[in-house]
Chain A
Amino acid sequence: MPVKKTTSTLAVAALMASVAMPALADKASGTLNVAFTKELENVDSYFNSAREGVVLQRAIWDGLIYRDPETNEYVGNLATSWEWIDDTTLEFKLREGVTFHNGEAFNADDVVYTVDYVAKEENGVKTQRNVNWMKSAEKIDDYTVRIHLKEKFPAAIEFLSGPVSIYPNEYYAEVGPSGMGLKPVGTGPYKVTEVVPGQHFVLEANETYYDSPKGQPEIAKVDIRTIPDVNTQMAELFSGSLDLIWQVPADQANKLAQMDQFTVANESTMRVGYLQMDAAGRSGENPFTNKLVREAVNYAINRQELVDALLQGKSKVVYTPCFPSQFGCVQDVTEYEYDPEKAKALLAEAGYPDGFTIDFYAYRDRQYAEAITSYLNAVGIKTNFNMLQYSALRELNMKGEVPLAFQTWGSYSINDASAMVSQFFKHGSLDTTRDDQVLEWLDVADSSTNPDERIEYYTKALQRIADEAFWAPMFTYNTNYVFTTEVAYTPTPDEVLRFVDMSWN
């Protein structure tokens, strides 16, 4: 039963024909009505792994550090300054005079409690990678705190400006993650006034928000409803009961862009789409253990056509297993231009003059996956197409039973190459390459505190991955934001919807 993507051209056409009705102005009431597509499991940002959760996290809570989404510069947020005491100790001076939404004063105790709580594996933080590099925190005085790392971790600053938010110690100790999910309390620009789990979230501007680099909230109230069907979201937009929708598919966005009362903004996301090949031979004897075959796959894909015809918007062709804006993601690597003849020749050279048949897996974006298989088929690589649920494919992957798959990775919006390349090339359970040389270089790059040295070793690793054609990275994703012309907003490339940056026209 197709529930999720009930795209109906007819309904869209009918919608288009019926837009004479003026949208009801929500500007007057000061409420911005927004739709989420997915049911968010828990507002507590440490206990969800959803994009929607990141959006709420940035509105409700603050981190010690803030990364300007435009310039990618790090500035103090709840901390005013920080310094590395040694390779595994960071010291922060904290901002004074900040209070949480419930009136609790912010100080070193909150930082210590939050860090100690989330770093403890038994507490079950959902995305362990966001927190498991921290060992503990130590209070020096009321407004000075040290975070101790388990080992060298240069991306610490990036993580502290992203997923690591500071919670109020007394309140969190009392209510825990489920209480925090129902009645969230933070220091952020928006406070939460209503939560119906998974369905409805109401935020109100924090009138006493401190002088944060995030800026002051201008929209007084944000009302978020979960509407799973994109067509229904569009209907709500047309009838004036929604002001902003996001993650709108390209075909719908194109139609909406032709209409006067909506602004369609396209922005890239950090998600990268790639083909993963079993170069290590974990799934048994397979053609991808041969470098010539992997090169052939790289030459067989018309990346530019995929971007132009399917992804559209701000998507770009990539040849690296990381997103170009990420620190260390140097773009100076071998590029495989579309050349099906060369691909065939390489296959013949590898001993497959007539090609071969292989199991091909995908878990999302079926139409992209099908386009990719047609490129492969054209050079003689015949595919048994398998579309699986994400968790099922992941399980197969961890067991090493997947010879070829169309995969994507969003790096959790972490602007550091370690969030992608190091997840997949360091001999973990999802590493299909298991190259010792790459592992060695990535180990240096991931743990060095010298930025130049990091760049040098990421370059080596990324160049080797491209030269050996371990993967076939293809394109970056983009997303469409559609809002009424009454709303002023410029989306950022990290796919985080920032209510604090929105205002009424």
Chain B
Amino acid sequence: MFAFILKRLGLALLVAFTVSFISFSLLFLSGDPAAALAGETASGEDVEALRRLYGFDRPMMVQYGDWLFSALRGDFGESYYFKLPVASLIAERLQVTMTLGVCGILFALATAVPLGVAAAIRPNSLIDRVALFLSVAGQAMPSFWFGLILIVVFAIQLGWLPPSGASSWRHFIMPTIVLGYYAMPAIMRLTRAGMLDVLNSDYIRTARAKGSGEMRVLFKHALRNAIIPVVSLAAVQMGFMLGGSIVVESVFALHGAGYLAWESIARNDLPTVQALILVFSMFYIVFTFLADVLNAWLDPRMRSA
């Protein structure tokens, strides 16, 4: 197990390194950081002065080397845009994104898994149709639109919730629903398919034949097996939510890491983008790893693999 973890860790570092190099090159190709830094009102001469000041005139490899060397020592530098240490900037924004991501995935799991199970018990029943409708709607609806509709109904017409911001738990209710709803359909369909598959298998028939209660059959025998791919999917969805909640963060004026990443790319804020990409890729790696461990616990066959 220790060797397994070490190997995974080495691989993770390699992935993080590759991702950071690619993102650095892409940002470098996409535009002139000095021009972005100088802003709209600066003259060509201002831009030149900034270019020299920040060393953007040096070869790209040298600049990447510089960044990598500092990053390895835990120094992510200062944001070009905010003139603040990147580490503290990201730490502050991550709180919002993490809260949102965790709430979102819990909401998605809490609604999608029971619906998926219910749909599988009675395929093509009313409940299956409703679940199907919900999942199609969830996939088809753009999240900014869904977010605005929620704001109109719950913040303006009913006045129950604040429209935007992040100053209390009530501010997170609507964003959680929007973000979670987006992840829900895939989880639900996978739960349904997995359950349908498992419910038709021999050992379920055996379990029923030996007289186990229906609840015990469903949740102890069937769901435990059907949920395995769902765990992997949820882990990936979680990673996606942390990096991809840009739209939700923008609509609800939550200043999270996703929105910061989006804006920083537009601003050519290299140190911030680099650090964020590193953080996001680490999240993916950590979540996939956790999913593997969880699956190994759920399914003893996977422990030896």
Residues of A within 8 A of B (CB): 1-4, 6, 8, 10-11, 14-15, 18-19, 21, 39, 41-42, 47-50, 121-122, 124, 126-129, 177-178, 181, 197-199, 225-229, 231-232, 235-236, 238-239, 241, 389-392, 394-395, 398, 410-412, 423, 428-430
A47: chain B residues at CB < 8 Å are 83
How many residues does chain B have at the interface if contact means C-beta atoms less than 8 Å apart? 52
A392: chain B residues at CB < 8 Å are 30-32
Give the contacting residue for B148; candidates A227, A235, A412; CB below 8 A. Answer: A235
B263: chain A residues at CB < 8 Å are 39
B151: chain A residues at CB < 8 Å are 11, 231-232, 235
CA distance A227 to B75 in the complex (A): 30
How far does the Cβ of A505 sit from chain B's closest Cβ, in whole Å? Answer: 23
CA distance A20 to B256 in the complex (A): 33
A429: chain B residues at CB < 8 Å are 44-45, 48
Does B163 lie within 8 Å of A1, measured CB to CB?
no
CA distance A90 to B106 in the complex (A): 66
In the complex, what residue of chain A is closest to B45 when comparing beta carbons? A428
Does B156 lie within 8 Å of A430, measured CB to CB?
no
Q: In B122-166, which residues have CB < 8 Å from any A CB?
A: 144-145, 148-149, 151-152, 155-157, 159, 162-165
Does A235 lie within 8 Å of B152, measured CB to CB?
yes
How far does the Cβ of A285 sit from chain B's closest Cβ, in whole Å? Answer: 24
A15: chain B residues at CB < 8 Å are 152, 156
A236: chain B residues at CB < 8 Å are 163-164
Which residue of B32, B33, B252 has the most chain A CB atoms within 10 A of its CB atom? B32
A181: chain B residues at CB < 8 Å are 83
CA distance A222 to B169 in the complex (A): 24
CA distance A162 to B253 in the complex (A): 31
CA distance A391 to B267 in the complex (A): 8
Give the contacting residue for B44; candidates A241, A389, A430; CB below 8 A. Answer: A430
In the complex, what residue of chain B is closest to A389 when comparing beta carbons? B31
Give the contacting residue for A18; candidates B84, B156, B162; CB below 8 A. Answer: B156
Which residue of B33, B84, B144, B268 has the most chain A CB atoms within 10 A of its CB atom? B144
Identify 20 residue pairs between A and B in the complex whose beta-carbon atoms are under 8 Å apart, listed by A's number: A6-B144, A11-B148, A14-B152, A21-B159, A49-B42, A127-B41, A127-B46, A128-B46, A129-B43, A228-B250, A229-B251, A235-B152, A235-B156, A389-B30, A389-B31, A392-B32, A394-B35, A398-B35, A410-B40, A430-B43
A49-B45 in contact given A227-B164, A228-B250 (Cβ < 8 Å): no
Does A226 lie within 8 Å of B253, measured CB to CB?
yes
Does A394 lie within 8 Å of B32, measured CB to CB?
yes
Does A128 lie within 8 Å of B268, measured CB to CB?
no
A225-B165 in contact given A231-B148, A395-B35 (Cβ < 8 Å): yes
Apart from the given pairs A127-B39, A232-B251, 19 other A-B contacts in the complex at a CB distance below 8 Å: A6-B148, A6-B247, A11-B151, A14-B149, A14-B152, A42-B82, A49-B40, A126-B38, A126-B39, A126-B42, A226-B253, A235-B151, A235-B163, A241-B162, A389-B266, A390-B36, A395-B35, A398-B35, A410-B41
CA distance A395 to B145 in the complex (A): 35
Complex interface bits, B229-249 against A, C-beta within 8 A gives 1, otherwise 0: 000000000000000001100
In the complex, what residue of chain B is closest to A431 when comparing beta carbons? B44
Give the contacting residue for B253; candidates A124, A126, A228, A430; CB below 8 A. Answer: A228
A4: chain B residues at CB < 8 Å are 250
CA distance A128 to B42 in the complex (A): 7
CA distance A4 to B246 in the complex (A): 10
Give the contacting residue for B41; candidates A14, A49, A225; CB below 8 A. Answer: A49
B165: chain A residues at CB < 8 Å are 225
Give the contacting residue for A199; candidates B41, B53, B255; CB below 8 A. Answer: B255
Which residue of B38, B42, B48 has the most chain A CB atoms within 10 A of its CB atom? B42
A232: chain B residues at CB < 8 Å are 148, 151, 163-164, 251-253
In the complex, what residue of chain A is closest to B36 when comparing beta carbons? A391
CA distance A414 to B252 in the complex (A): 35
Does A241 lie within 8 Å of B53, measured CB to CB?
no
Residues of B within 8 A of A (CB): 30-33, 35-50, 53, 81-84, 89, 144-145, 148-149, 151-152, 155-157, 159, 162-165, 246-247, 250-253, 255, 259, 262-263, 266, 268
Does A49 lie within 8 Å of B38, measured CB to CB?
yes
Does A129 lie within 8 Å of B46, measured CB to CB?
yes
A3-B247 in contact given A42-B83, A398-B44, A429-B44 (Cβ < 8 Å): yes
CA distance A478 to B263 in the complex (A): 25
In the complex, what residue of chain B is closest to A54 when comparing beta carbons? B41
CA distance A228 to B151 in the complex (A): 15
Does A428 lie within 8 Å of B155, measured CB to CB?
no
In the complex, what residue of chain A is closest to B142 when comparing beta carbons? A6
B37: chain A residues at CB < 8 Å are 126
In the complex, what residue of chain B is closest to A199 when comparing beta carbons? B255
A11: chain B residues at CB < 8 Å are 145, 148-149, 151-152
In the complex, what residue of chain B is closest to A128 when comparing beta carbons? B46
A428-B44 in contact given A198-B82, A231-B148 (Cβ < 8 Å): yes
B40: chain A residues at CB < 8 Å are 49, 390, 410
Does B246 lie within 8 Å of A3, measured CB to CB?
yes
How far does the Cβ of B145 sit from chain A's closest Cβ, in whole Å? Answer: 6
A1: chain B residues at CB < 8 Å are 246-247
How far does the Cβ of B34 sit from chain A's closest Cβ, in whole Å? Answer: 8
A6-B253 in contact given A235-B151, A429-B44 (Cβ < 8 Å): no
CA distance A42 to B78 in the complex (A): 13
Which residue of B49, B83, B145 has the most chain A CB atoms within 10 A of its CB atom? B83
How far does the Cβ of A242 sit from chain B's closest Cβ, in whole Å? Answer: 9
How far does the Cβ of B79 sit from chain A's closest Cβ, in whole Å? Answer: 8
CA distance A398 to B44 in the complex (A): 7
A8-B144 in contact given A225-B253, A229-B251 (Cβ < 8 Å): yes
Give the contacting residue for A229; candidates B44, B47, B250; CB below 8 A. Answer: B250
How far does the Cβ of A405 sit from chain B's closest Cβ, in whole Å? Answer: 14
How far does the Cβ of B33 sit from chain A's closest Cβ, in whole Å? Answer: 8
How far does the Cβ of B25 sit from chain A's closest Cβ, in whole Å? Answer: 16
CA distance A198 to B264 in the complex (A): 12
A398: chain B residues at CB < 8 Å are 35, 44, 47
A10: chain B residues at CB < 8 Å are 145, 149
How far does the Cβ of B161 sit from chain A's closest Cβ, in whole Å? Answer: 9
Does B35 lie within 8 Å of A391, measured CB to CB?
yes
A19: chain B residues at CB < 8 Å are 156
Does B32 lie within 8 Å of A391, measured CB to CB?
yes
How far does the Cβ of B149 sit from chain A's closest Cβ, in whole Å? Answer: 7
Which residue of B37, B157, B159, B163 has the most chain A CB atoms within 10 A of its CB atom? B163
A14: chain B residues at CB < 8 Å are 149, 152
B31: chain A residues at CB < 8 Å are 389, 391-392, 395
A39: chain B residues at CB < 8 Å are 255, 263
